[in-house]
Amino acid sequence: GAVVSQHPSWVICKSGTSVKIECRSLDFQATTMFWYRQFPKQSLMLMATSNEGSKATYEQGVEKDKFLINHASLTLSTLTVTSAHPEDSSFYICSALNSGGYNEQFFGPGTRLTVL
Amino acid sequence: GENVGLHLPTLSVQEGDNSIINCAYSNSASDYFIWYKQESGKGPQFIIDIRSNMDKRQGQRVTVLLNKTVKHLSLQIAATQPGDSAVYFCAERAGQNFVFGPGTRLSVLP
B100: confidence class by pLDDT, cuts 50, 70, 90: confident
Could you give the 3-state DSSP secondary structure of residue B3?
coil
Is A34 in contact with B44 (Cβ distance < 8 A)?
A: no
Looking at residue A10, its amino acid is W
Query: In a 3-state reduction of DSSP, which class is residue B55?
Result: coil
A9-38 per-position pLDDT tens digit: 889 999 999 999 999 999 888 889 999 999
- Between positions 44 and 63 of A, the ones with CB within 8 A of B are 44, 46, 49
| pLDDT > 70: percent of chain B | 92
What are the C-alpha distances in Å from B5 to residues A29, A61, B2, B43, B109?
36, 18, 9, 19, 26
Measure the CA–CA gap between A115 and B77, rounded to whole angstroms: 38
In this predicted structure, the answer to whether residue B54 has a pLDDT above a threshold of 50 is yes
- Average pLDDT (A33-60) is 90
Partner-chain contact A41 B7, CB within 8 Å: yes
Q: Band of the pLDDT at A101, cuts 50, 70, 90?
A: low
Lowest mean pLDDT among A32-41, B13-22, B96-105: B96-105
Chain A contact probe: residue of B2, B3, B25, B34 with most A CBs at under 10 A: B3
CA–CA distance, B41 with A25 (Å, rounded to integer): 20
* pLDDT digits 0-9 by tens, A58-99: 999 999 999 999 998 999 999 999 999 999 999 999 999 877
Mean of the per-residue pLDDT values for chain B? 88
Q: Encode pLDDT of B19-51 as tens digits.
A: 999 999 888 889 999 999 999 888 889 899 999
The pLDDT value recorded for residue A103 is: 66
Distance CA(A17)–CA(A12), nearest Å, equals 10
Which residues in chain B are closer than 8 Å to A44, comparing Cβ atoms?
A: 44, 89, 100
Q: What is the rounded average pLDDT of the residues A48-53? A: 89
More confident residue, B100 or A6: A6
